[in-house]
Amino acid sequence: MNAIKIFAPATVANLVCGFDIIGLALDYPKDEIYLYKSNNPGIRINKIYGPSLPKDPKKNSAFAALQLLLNKYEKLNKLKNNIGFEMELIKNIYPGSGIGSSAASSAGVVFGANILLGNPFNTIQLIRFAMEGERVASGSAHADNVAPAIMGGLTLIRSYDPLDITKLHSPNELWVSIIHPEIEIKTSDARKILKKNILMKDAIQQWGNIGALVAGLYQENYSLISRSLEDVIVEPIRSTLIPSFYELKVKCKEIGALGGGISGSGPSVFMLSKGNKIAKKVTKVMNDIYSTLKVGYNTYTSPINQKGLKWKKI
């Protein structure tokens, strides 16, 4: 097999209290990636459909992640400039939206390349390659978008060094509503504004929430999930960058959302709900609030994507 099409999902990182450690995969939106293995060495991005993105290897996350995988593969197999890849990216996930656009590209290409090479790498290795794409896109090699993109469902990063990632139980009825305000927040900037030190009392509250969120997911205890969706460390700082953030939170919860917060580093805001019906109402509330503002936006309603990346032979 020399050609493959990959469907790479959007992801929500941080999951409110789980900064840099908890993320989930969505069914939509998703990118489509055509990847071809060739005997012509090197990596080529033939076309990017949708928003304009750099094709420069130093700035393109898909390129950077795939280059790392290819270098490692050639080294392991004592090859030099034997293999090449060509790709076309259909970007349905807007770069800078906060729902894992760069993660979808980098996770998608390394996942596809691994299949085309006969699966030489395991999941953790693929996540490491894809994290390099995140470093290129945002200056930080976080894994809370690429892990759920590759593994599906909800994932928890216990440790970055060594990389130790586990999949969490995700209740079937958990749905996600997202609003993507069309403003630009660079992840690198949104990281720079965070405090380097936190108070012990805030840390205690935060790890209480994280533990309870995980317990709530396993118990399918929606009330406990709802109470745990609280972030006392990152959200108070980053929320100032997002128009009507607290109005979104309050009104979505009034209509029945369990809770939510900033998706990744923003500007997207997400809400979790029990069931599709409430999730759709929540998305409508998001629409109603933003339709009164002078900011363009998109909304999505999606279940959790249990499988993550999907592919088919072409």
| Residues annotated catalytic, as ranges | 134, 187
**Nearest to ligand HSE of 18, 112 (CB atom):** 18
Applying CB under 6 A, the site for ligand HSE has a residue count of 11
Ranges assigned E (strand) in the chain: 3-13, 22-38, 42-49, 84-90, 154-160, 163-168, 174-181, 259-262, 269-274, 297-303, 310-313
- By CB under 6 A, what part of segment 171-190 binds ligand HSE? 187, 190
By beta-carbon proximity to ligand HSE, the closer residue of 16 and 109 is 16
In the complex with ligand HSE, the residue whose CB is nearer, 31 or 144, is: 144
Closest CB 95 distance from ligand HSE, rounded Å: 11
Q: 3, 5, 20, 186: which one contacts ligand HSE (CB under 6 A)?
A: 20
Residue with smaller CB distance to ligand HSE, 98 or 216: 98
Q: Are 153 and 172 in contact (CB under 8 A)?
A: no
Q: Which residue has the tokens 């080294």?
A: 75
273-282 residues labelled b (16+ CB within 10 A) or e (exposed): bbeeebbebb
Among 6, 7, 8, 14, binds ligand HSE (CB under 6 A): 14
Please state, in angstroms and as integers, the Cα–Cα distance from residue 53 to each residue in 60, 100, 150, 186, 291, following that order.
7, 15, 22, 14, 28
Are the CB atoms for 27 and 7 separated by under 8 Å? no
User: Is there a contact between 237 and 194 (Cβ–Cβ < 8 Å)?
Assistant: yes
Q: Nearest approach, Cβ of 50 to ligand HSE (angstroms)?
A: 19
Residue 154 CA to residue 131 CA, distance in Å, equals 17
Question: What part of residues 89-148 is at the interface with ligand HSE (CB under 6 A)?
Answer: 142, 144-145
Site map (CB under 6 A) of ligand HSE, residues 245-274, x = contact: -------------------xx---------
Binding of ligand HSE at residue 13 (CB under 6 A)? yes
Residues that bind ligand HSE (CB under 6 A): 13-14, 20, 142, 144-145, 187, 190-191, 264-265
